[in-house]
Amino acid sequence: METPLTIDITNINNGSPGLLHLELPTAMNIQSLPGAGGLQLVFRSEGEIRLVAEIVTADQEILRVAVSETQGGQLRVESTGRSAQYSGVQVRPAPSILASGANMLDVYFLIDATTRQTAPERVGLTSLVGDPAWPALAEKLAAIPGAMASAPVDPASGTPTSGTPPSSTDIRCGIAAFADFDSWTLHPAAPDARMLRPFRAADITTTLSSIPVPNVGDYVDALAEGLDAALHVGWREDARKLLVVLGDSPGHSVLAAVPRHASRNAHLRQAVAGGSLRLADSRIRRRDVHECAEQLHAHGIEIATLFFEDGARSIEMSSAAGQQLVDHTRRQYRELASLPQWAFRIDGSSDLAELGAVLKARPSVIGRGFCPGFAI
């Protein structure tokens, strides 16, 4: 008698994990989850993992997957035009089934306050939070939670028609900024000052506008430390939880390191171009942006990223190395976002009302990385 074989799937109705029984050979249609980077195919016999295969997919792509068994008893997984990578018995974290958050919304802003310079001399340091356009941008950011509230919105502005969040929606917000290890790492420095608090747009604007400008810069910034800190800000279990990351600088990543020949600082370009300096970490890093994003995801915290183009343009135009660094950072911000449509590119003139409207809609389940898909 053949040993029964199953494959892990995600329930399309409620996002819960499930099993699909298979009789070999077989073929099936499997759809990747919203936000996932691929399918994780976990095959089990009598509850024990027999094989784990992973296939890269586009967001919510449907693949035809064929499964058979060789004469030697090995499972074979095939999909036309795709390569399945076998990963032994390693199973990645399950997709996040999100809280409904119908009347509770937690929004946290993580702001890139790092400095950048465009000349060898240590002059002309600029920062997003020191830019003349920052106060107006801060005011637009402060309107996002209200635009996401469960109330009618003005079609022109995307904000609640009353001008304030409805009493039926309990909104809490928090703010932190990350900088460089050569200046300050996180602001506010005290964890208690970074906690979520009842929402008032005026308070959010004031706090954003008062973020201090660092006076020096490291090369790879404290984005990972900011993501880690955002995990511990008092998220409510039953609320919808959203982290908004705004910036233009990369964080430390082992799997996707900053390019060898890229530096944000002009006075390093000559050394980097000569191959004598591998960018860019002047300090040992304890946290990784992608690992931190996975931890946030595991707690049901959604991530939206706002890549600030104004700050990146001067770096991008300065040299090929600058172009390479900006491309890397844009890609990192895209990968951090929970959904492709939540990776925004903005500048000082952007109207963020539409952004709030986009964030208001979301699927009931979101994947990250490789996940069991929907059986279609």
Residue 112's pLDDT is what? Answer: 94
The string of pLDDT tens digits covering residues 277-331 is 344 444 555 789 999 999 999 999 999 999 999 877 767 666 777 778 888 889 9
Among 94, 109, 105, which Cα is nearest to 16's?
Answer: 94
Q: CA-CA distances (angstroms) from residue 200 to 14, 162, 166?
A: 34, 14, 12
Residue 21's pLDDT is what? Answer: 96
Other Cβ atoms within 10 Å of 157 Cβ, number: 16
- 149 contacts 161 by C-beta, under 8 angstroms: no
β-partners of residue 15 are none
Other Cβ atoms within 10 Å of 189 Cβ, number: 10
C-alpha 251: how far from chain center: 12
Tokens of 14: 């409620």
SS3 label, residue 299:
coil
Q: Which residues of the chain have pLDDT under 50?
A: 1, 119-123, 153-160, 163, 165, 260-282
Residue 253's pLDDT is what? Answer: 63
Residue 47's pLDDT is what? Answer: 84
Domain boundaries, the chain: 5-91, 104-363
Cis peptide before 191 (omega within 30 of 0): no
Residue 305's pLDDT is what? Answer: 98
- 97 contacts 105 by C-beta, under 8 angstroms: no
**Topology of 104-363 in CATH?**
Rossmann fold (3.40.50)
Tokens of 139: 């005011």
